[in-house]
Amino acid sequence: MSNGGYIRLYKQFEDIFEHSAGPVFIFNELEELVYHNLSGKSLLDTSGKIKPVFAEIIDVENKSLKEIVENLRSGYMANPVESNVMTPTGISNYYMDIWPAKYGRETFYVCYLNASRKECPDVISRACESFYNESSDAMLIIDCENYTFINVNKRVEDLCGHPSGDLKGKSMESLYPPDDTEKLIQTFKRLIESGGSGRDRVYMKINKGKVKLVEITSKKMSLNGRDVIIALVTDISELENAAVIIKRRNNELSALNDISATINSTLDLDVVLESSLNRSCEVTGMQGGCIYLLDKDTGKFTPSSCMNMDISILLPIDEIDMLKCIDKPALRGGSPVVVDTSEYSGEACRSLLEAGIRTVIYVPIIFQGQLLGIMNLAEKSVRHFTEEDLTFFTSIANTIGIAINNARYVKDVSSQAKKFSLLFKTTGILTSTLDLEEVLELFAKNAAEVAGTETCAVYFLDKKRNRLNIKAVYGTGPEEVGELLENALLSSGIISDVIETKSSKVVEDTSADPELSHVFLDKYDIRSFLCTPLVYHKDVTGVILLFTRGKQQEFSSGAIDVIENLADQAAQAIENAKLVDDLRKRNDELRRVFDIQRKITQSINIGDTLNVIVENVPYLIKLPYCVIFLIDEEHQEITSVKATKAVEMKHGKLKFRMDELVASRIAMDEMRPLVIENARDFPKIARPIVDLLDMKSTIILPLIARGKKLGVMWLYTDEKPVIFEDEDVRRAIALSDQAAVSIDNARLFRELSSANDQLESSYEKLKDLDKMKMEFFTLISHELRTPLTTIKGFTELLHDGLLGPINEKQRDKLDKIKHNVDKLSDVVTSLSDLSSITSKKYSITMLPMALDELIREVVRSISFLVEEKKIKLSVDVPVNLPLINADREKIQQVLLNIINNAIKYTPPGGEIAIKAEDRENDILVSIRDTGIGIPKSDLEKIFTGFYHSGYKLSYEYKGMGLGLALSKGIIESHGGRIWAESELGKWSTFYFTLPKYVTPIEEKYQLSEAR
């Protein structure tokens, strides 16, 4: 072990230790001596040789140093500890204070010796205070007068999340809930009065209103002449997790096994009761309690065993009936009762409350429905119990009840000692294993030995089907015992009597009863038998049958009592084993279900999905074959059939019509499974199909997903009829539901794949049509441009009179021709530009330019249009907008398109607002009008070209619909974005962005920054 921690510790407190009047020793975690001061050296041998081990220097009841420290922490010892020091001159008596000190990952134990029982000097106390401040454990120093925090170390802050500085000077309630605060203060008061140490489990407040379970180990000491409480805080919140719960359950099982072992090892009832009480308190942390036995003659409860409690307190004076302040019916019915003594007014509870006891749990000790006594466990604080806690207490009490009954029988029937010995042996065996098959075999064998019979048969009761199932046989074959059950026991009514009365039935001579003689003696040669119920929690779970062939046998009352006692213990052991067996099976089932579900859900091809289902589902149930029929619900036709490979190899591809599937149609129409244990006797099933598949038992399940009937699944066997358990049906339904979902998903995937293929085909066709459209635009614009130019030229020559004089009427007509030619030329130009943009052949010339100047120039050019319609036009464009890199002519075209649209669709007296905004990477331009608006459904479509809103008012202003499509192409070719927002009938706003101009130097800097 490294001594680095010790060196740091020694250097920090060298003056304190060296000049201390009393001997000081420091030991490491291996209990090796690593330091002693001058006074300590005088106690060692004169040669100066340091004895390396604690036990060679100091003796405290032959305990190791770690055992002493643990006893101090648990409160079994208190500083100072009486010790014997082996000095060169002999053994000397000293009082020793021990202080553990943690440095990093190392722990050291500082031992201060004093010849008299007094507190260690302040100088040592200050050292100890420093140890705690440096400790890796959470530490609190608490004022003994007002119970406020004097100091807390850094570890407390790490534990609770509250800054340590905020806790100093605060009351206990700032860190602990009120009840826990009161609990700690009571402990501190006891320490102040009598010394010693204390240990409490409380909840510590942490951040966000949460609490954490901690353990407080506290001790009174003096620091700098002041009495304080030193409290070490340990985080035990992990006890609330599953691992600790399992550990606790293991402790409970260990306690039950220990008590059972005690019952098996002794006939002394007092020893059993004392062991049961001690182990109950150890496992649950209860402070103490008593066991009272009911005197059948007087009806009073008398104390038989007590632990850490005054009997006169727990059993009120003058033999007050304890049941006066608790729920009699619940207690006598076998249920534990928890009493908060502050909530009851009975004299008994008042006496308990005056004695400082807040919580008492009364657990009835019951055997075969008879109340034998009460075990009560007490706590001085409010205690809450879980259902698992109550079950554990009940198990302890049941075990005690067995012990009480056993002891009474040992006392009353000494002649049955051998059988009781065998009974205890069997009990020990039964409680030592949780393997159901082993429990049943052991029980049958030992029951036969106790009764002295050659055969013992164990039957479990199936309440749902009201029948018995053979589970174990000793001495005779199970087939013969099963035949005996069917032909003799059930027909004679003996089993029903045993189950109804919950008591044994003895027949010592079947020949005395003609009816019994016929079924038992004549056919099976049975003259005597004993039938005993297996009773667990007042319910009959099965019966046992004991008999010997060929001779009459007497069953004594003692033997019957022993068998019944053994049956009660076996019933509990069997139920425990069944529970473990069920859990094991359930775990295996869940693992297989998960594996199958994983395989099913991994497949998206419907054929693969069906194959995975039919080949894997049978592994989880008792039926080896699976067939799935998929149907067309609308046309009531079978569309697909998939069967287990073995079925297809034997019968080929199954081909049936819907009208042949009688039972399947019932399952689908009623949307419920059909559970058929005997297919040949089932009236509503197609016999030809049953004969073809040699079907013995089957479960027919409808496959339904999203409310749609997809088909039906058969699970069947051709070997022998099967008796289905509820779990088999539940498992089959769960698997069919999963199969239906997987089949539905595969179908949807197939449909989506088909739809996707169609969409891709349609998309390609649309692309071709769009390409043809753009080629047509290119052709038409090319073909129209030359004739239009010619028409325009000759029109201008005629208009200007260069081809001869014209009159005013002719001039007016030529003006209209010229206007429409210009209009048609704009359309041709727009078509050409739109085609170029779409085919990515659009040519733009990018130069730095001032967008604010361009906007004002465009506004001046269209101002006359605004004035004609008396529209209020506002322009909010900063004069210092950054430059943009753009084609001036093209951006001017975008502005004119959008502003002209705004003027066109805005009624007289309306408003148009033009704004430009400098943003981080671009400039945002918005043009808002108070026109007719655009439906939301059309906001994306208006940029596609040749599109006009379906809104009726828009038809009054109908144009070619090319302006916005062209504007979108121009803006996007500049690296910007264009969009629109609108409220129908009220307003529209068009937005577009343009990137800022970046100089070559700025661009180079930005690239280097990005790298």
pLDDT in tens, 497-537: 888 888 888 888 888 888 788 778 777 888 888 989 988 88
Percent of the chain with pLDDT over 70: 75
689-715 pLDDT, tens per residue? 888 889 999 999 998 888 888 889 989
Instruction: Say which residue, 29 or 191, is predicted with more confidence.
Output: 29
* For residues 149-176, average pLDDT: 79
What would the mean pLDDT of 813-835 be, rounded to a whole number? 69
Which pLDDT score is estimated for 9?
55
Contacts of 943 (CB under 8 A, 6+ apart): 964, 965, 967, 968, 978, 980
Is the predicted pLDDT of residue 765 greater than 70, yes or no? yes
Q: Which of 197-201, 653-657, 771-775, 972-976 has the highest mean pLDDT?
A: 972-976
Closest CA to 903 of 873, 879, 878, 876: 873
Residue 412: how many CA atoms within 13 Å on its side-chain side?
A: 10
The confidence score (pLDDT) of residue 854 equals 93
pLDDT at 324 over 70: no
The residue length of the chain stands at: 1011
For residues 674-696, average pLDDT: 88
Task: For residues 528 and 551, give the distance between their C-alpha atoms in angstroms, rounded to a whole number.
Answer: 8
Q: Which residue has the tokens 């308190």?
A: 281
Q: How far is CA 610 from the centre of its chain?
A: 32
pLDDT given for residue 369 in this prediction: 79
pLDDT on residue 874: 94
Instruction: Give 885's contacts (C-beta < 8 A, 6+ positions apart).
Output: 846, 847, 848, 849, 995, 996, 997, 998
Mean pLDDT over residues 456-477, rounded? 80
Q: What is the pLDDT of residues 125-153, one digit of tens each?
A: 555 555 555 555 678 888 888 888 888 87
Q: What is the mean pLDDT of the chain?
A: 77
Mean of the pLDDT values across residues 852-876? 91
Question: Coil, strand or helix: which one is 792?
Answer: helix
Residue 1007 pLDDT level (bands cut at 50, 70, 90): very low
Is residue 102 scored above 70 in pLDDT? Answer: no
920-959: per-residue pLDDT in tens? Answer: 989 999 999 999 988 888 888 888 766 655 544 444 445 5
- Select, from the ranges 246-250, 399-403, 452-456, 852-856, the one with the highest average predicted confidence (pLDDT): 852-856
pLDDT of residue 382: 72
Show the tokens assigned to 213: 């379970």
Burial class (CB in 10 A: 0-12, 13-18, 19+), 554: exposed
pLDDT at 562 exceeding the cut of 70: yes
Neighbours of 964 (CB within 10 A): 21
Minimal CA–CA distance to 505: which of 466, 472, 476, 544?
A: 544
Rounded Cα gap, residues 664 and 1007, in angstroms: 72
Residue 639 three-state SS: strand
The pTM (predicted TM-score) of the whole model is 0.33
Over residues 16-29, mean pLDDT? 78
448 in Cβ contact with 454 (< 8 Å):
yes
Residue 131: per-residue pLDDT: 54
Distances from the Cα of 505 to the Cα of 462, 543, 555, angstroms: 20, 11, 11
Question: What number is the average pLDDT over the span 82-88?
Answer: 87
Q: Is the pLDDT of residue 965 over 60?
A: yes
Q: What is the pLDDT of residue 795?
A: 73
| 158 — pLDDT class (breaks 50, 70, 90) | confident
Mean pLDDT, to the nearest integer, of 218-236? Answer: 74
User: What's the first-to-final CA gap in the chain, in angstroms?
Assistant: 52
Contacts 24+ apart (CB under 8 A), 938-946: 939/979, 939/980, 939/981, 939/982, 942/980, 943/967, 943/968, 943/978, 943/980, 945/834
Give Rg (Cα) of the chain. 48
* pLDDT for position 316: 39
- The tens digit of pLDDT for each residue in 370-399 reads 888 888 888 887 776 767 778 888 888 888
Question: How many C-alpha atoms does 879 have within 13 Å on its Cβ side?
Answer: 0
Task: Give burial (CB, 10 Å; 0-12/13-18/19+) of 69.
Answer: middle
Summarised one tens digit per residue, pLDDT across range 285-302 is: 788 888 888 876 567 777
773 has a pLDDT exceeding 70: no
**Residues forming beta bridges with residue 198, ordered by sequence position:** 218
**Binning pLDDT at 50, 70 and 90, where does residue 310 land?**
low
In DSSP terms, which residues pair with 535 in a beta bridge?
Answer: 540
Could you give the CA distance from residue 52 to residue 34 in angstroms, rounded to a whole number?
Answer: 8
User: Of the spans 280-284, 728-732, 982-986, which averages the highest pLDDT?
Assistant: 982-986
Contact 885, 847 (CB under 8 A): yes
Mean pLDDT of 465-492: 73
What is the structure's pLDDT at 289?
A: 86
Return the percentage of the chain with pLDDT > 90, whole number.
9
Query: 91-100, 185-194, 311-320, 934-943: which range is least confident on average?
Result: 311-320
Q: Residue 653 above 80 pLDDT?
A: yes
Output the pLDDT for position 322: 47
Q: Does the pLDDT of residue 961 top 70, yes or no? A: no
User: Hunting for tokens 């006066």 — which residue is that?
Assistant: 324
**Would you state the pLDDT for residue 826?**
67
DSSP structural state of residue 767: H
Q: Does residue 710 contact residue 631 with C-beta atoms inside 8 Å? A: yes
What per-residue confidence (pLDDT) applies to 918?
93
Q: How confident is the model at residue 838 (pLDDT cuts 50, 70, 90)?
A: low
Residue 307 is predicted with a pLDDT of 82
* DSSP secondary structure of 333-351: TT--EEEEGGG--SHHHHH
